[in-house]
Amino acid sequence: MKKVAVILSGCGVYDGSEINETVLTLLALARAGAEVTCSAPDISQTHVINHLKGTIDEGAERNTLEEAARISRGEITPLTALDLKKQDAIIFVGGFGVAKNLSNLAFEGSAYEAIPEVSTLIQQAHANKKAQGFICIAPVLAAAALGDQNVRLTIGNDSETAATIESQGARHVNCPVDGIVIDETHRIVTTPAYMLASNILEAEAGINKLVTEVLKLA
């Protein structure tokens, strides 16, 4: 049985993890018989978005780990407590929490950085030849952590985000919504999901392929 850590960034597309992407990932892993550990950093969200109105909820405060626990049904590990030795692979799901909580991409543009504990996890997983998957906007984390390794990644075909990824030293590859990009040298798989998807079925197609390939690499 392969053991996979799924890394979350909160709960909700605009300030945390994209819920559909998370559930589709967990479902694909369950169908494949993988043992899953959900994990998230125990930090405050950058801000809270009212998902009904699409506005910032001024003065509201939420914790990324506590919010991510909503999706994982309370079964979740703080990122600092995640034992990489016990994992065969890692998958980062998308959502704007990647750009706001796991990195400062939303605020710093091409000068962005992943937060230290995320960057360290990705680099250590790479050094230990663990398979890694990055969904939707999450490939920006791989670019920030491993850009100097000339990794091949995709977020679909958005030219601005692709340029940001390449500014970190990574190589962007255009990819359709139901496709994946496999960098076998670095054991990394990426798929656009809701960077391109117009519905949940389109997102599912690429995520299923990503999970299959990550488990093969693991």
> What pLDDT is attached to residue 147?
87
Mean pLDDT taken over the chain: 97
Amino acid at the residue 81: A
What's the distance, CA 111 to chain centroid? Answer: 19
The structural domains of the chain, with segments of one domain joined by +, span 3-217
pTM over 0.85: yes
List 11, 38, 136, 175, catalytic entry: 136
Q: Looking at domain 3-217, what is its CATH homologous superfamily?
A: Class I glutamine amidotransferase (GATase) domain (3.40.50.880)
Mean pLDDT of 123-132: 98
Tokens of 134: 């990055």
Question: Residue 198 corresponds to which amino acid?
Answer: S
Q: Write out the two tokens for 208.
A: 């299923």
The Cα 15–Cα 21 span in angstroms is 14
Q: What is the pLDDT of residues 130-154, one digit of tens each?
A: 999 999 999 999 999 998 999 999 9
Average pLDDT over residues 152-179: 97
Q: Which amino acid type is present at position 55?
A: T
- CB-based contacts of 216, cutoff 8 Å, min separation 6: none
Active site residue 175: no
Nearest to 209 by CA among 177, 161, 174, 184: 177
